């Protein structure tokens, strides 16, 4: 995981946009955990309802350079996502999500921070989803809504509400990160994924370097690959550093998954994502080169017949159903 380098100094606890207490999302917590598999991380939750039954998700760009780099794809991705969800939040669409850029009272858009070194702009709510652009890194998203506290440490440590968007990425990559923002985990991290797909840790770009570290420390790679070893923060940081964590089974403790495993979900990676050699994955479709392959028969395991798949370019029917009926229903 990459941590934000910028020092954000926040003077006060969060001043949320709305007056009065936030309605809680308790009624949906049981249901969401089926889809989200086990726990939202500590201090995270669904986005609260902030007005008229709507969950307003305001976003701001870290700085104007970030805005210049990715605002076009972000705007277009949000429009595509809302279209898939049947339009604006409300009775007719059946969902309560509204995502829009934070605007000052005079209607001008503001970046999240000002100055050099940058400080959080006090006129912008601290709960805003902060969007950062990256030229050569990868897109990332924190899961769920950060309940606070909104102070310098939590924001600097990568908490708060934020996504990182890779310059030049397709709409779907932004939509996928927004899926995390809404609280969704990867479909391939569900507890039952091994029934549907074969995960080949050795094919992940980063595996060999991770193994060198693991061998020198006496760590068990099998445990690191499945995420069944969460005792040491040093080990946990390492699986993030080598991009192994994004395949770890999320519900270490078992969970109730929402609906059937969905190969068409916008929250599952394509076969070649993070491959050691994606061209070889494309040509050979074997666990030597493809981190994820799907089974094509009832046989399971390394020698079972399997095949690669490419990225779904839209939300699947079940994604839409989960968001509308289970998670962010109006
Ligand atoms: Zn993801």
Separation of 56 CA from ligand 1 center, angstroms? Answer: 22
**Could you report the per-residue pLDDT of 10-32, keeping only the tens digit for each?**
222 222 222 222 333 333 333 33
Q: For residue 119, what pLDDT is reported?
A: 82
Separation of 115 CA from ligand 1 center, angstroms? Answer: 31
Confidence band of 1 (pLDDT split at 50, 70, 90): very low
Residue ranges and CATH numbers for the domains of the chain are 43-183 (3.40.390), 187-307 (no CATH)
Separation of 182 CA from ligand 1 center, angstroms? Answer: 12
Q: For residue 253, what pLDDT is reported?
A: 45
CA-wise closest residue to 172 among 263, 240, 269:
269
Confidence band of 219 (pLDDT split at 50, 70, 90): very high
Separation of 314 CA from ligand 1 center, angstroms? Answer: 14
- b or e along 207-239 (b: 16 or more beta carbons within 10 Å of the residue's beta carbon)? beebbebbeeeebebebbbbbebeeeeebbebb
- pTM, two decimals, is 0.84
CA-wise closest residue to 264 among 199, 187, 198:
187
| Residue 120, both tokens | 């959080």
Separation of 269 CA from ligand 1 center, angstroms? Answer: 8
**Could you report the per-residue pLDDT of 265-285, keeping only the tens digit for each?**
999 999 999 999 999 999 999
d(CA 141, CA 205) in angstroms, rounded, equals 20
Separation of 188 CA from ligand 1 center, angstroms? Answer: 10
When pLDDT is averaged across residues 153-159 and rounded to a whole number, the result is 65
| Residue 215, both tokens | 């061998």
């Amino acid at each position: 995981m990459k941590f934000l380098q910028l020092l954000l100094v926040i003077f006060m606890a969060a001043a949320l946009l709305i007056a009065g207490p936030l309605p809680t999302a308790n009624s949906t917590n049981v249901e969401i955990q089926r889809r989200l598999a086990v726990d939202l991380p500590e201090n995270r939750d669904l986005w609260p309802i902030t007005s008229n039954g709507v969950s307003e998700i305001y976003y701001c760009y870290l700085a104007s350079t970030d805005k210049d780099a990715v605002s076009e794809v972000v705007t277009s991705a949000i429009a595509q996502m809302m279209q898939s969800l049947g339009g604006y939040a409300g009775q007719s669409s059946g969902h309560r999500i509204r995502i829009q850029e934070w605007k000052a009272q005079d209607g001008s858009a503001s970046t999240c921070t000002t100055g050099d070194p940058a400080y959080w702009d006090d006129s912008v709510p601290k709960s805003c989803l902060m969007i950062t652009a990256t030229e050569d890194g990868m897109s990332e998203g924190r899961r769920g809504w950060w309940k606070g506290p909104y102070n310098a440490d939590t924001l600097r440590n990568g908490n708060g509400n934020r996504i990182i968007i890779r310059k030049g990425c397709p709409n779907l990559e932004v939509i996928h990160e927004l899926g995390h923002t809404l609280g969704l985990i990867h479909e391939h991290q569900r507890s039952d994924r091994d029934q549907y797909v074969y995960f080949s840790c050795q094919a992940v770009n980063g595996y060999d370097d991770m193994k060198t570290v693991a061998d020198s420390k006496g760590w068990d790679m099998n445990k690191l690959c499945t995420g069944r070893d969460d005792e040491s923060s040093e080990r946990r940081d390492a699986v993030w550093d080598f991009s192994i964590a994004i395949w770890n089974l999320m519900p270490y403790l078992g969970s109730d998954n929402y609906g059937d495993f969905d190969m068409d979900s916008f929250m599952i990676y394509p076969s070649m994502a993070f491959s050691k050699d994606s061209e070889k994955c494309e040509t050979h479709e074997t666990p030597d080169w493809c981190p994820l392959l799907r089974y094509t028969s009832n046989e399971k395991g390394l020698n079972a017949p399997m095949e690669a798949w490419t990225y779904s370019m839209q939300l699947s029917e079940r994604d839409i159903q989960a968001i509308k009926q289970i998670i962010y229903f109006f």
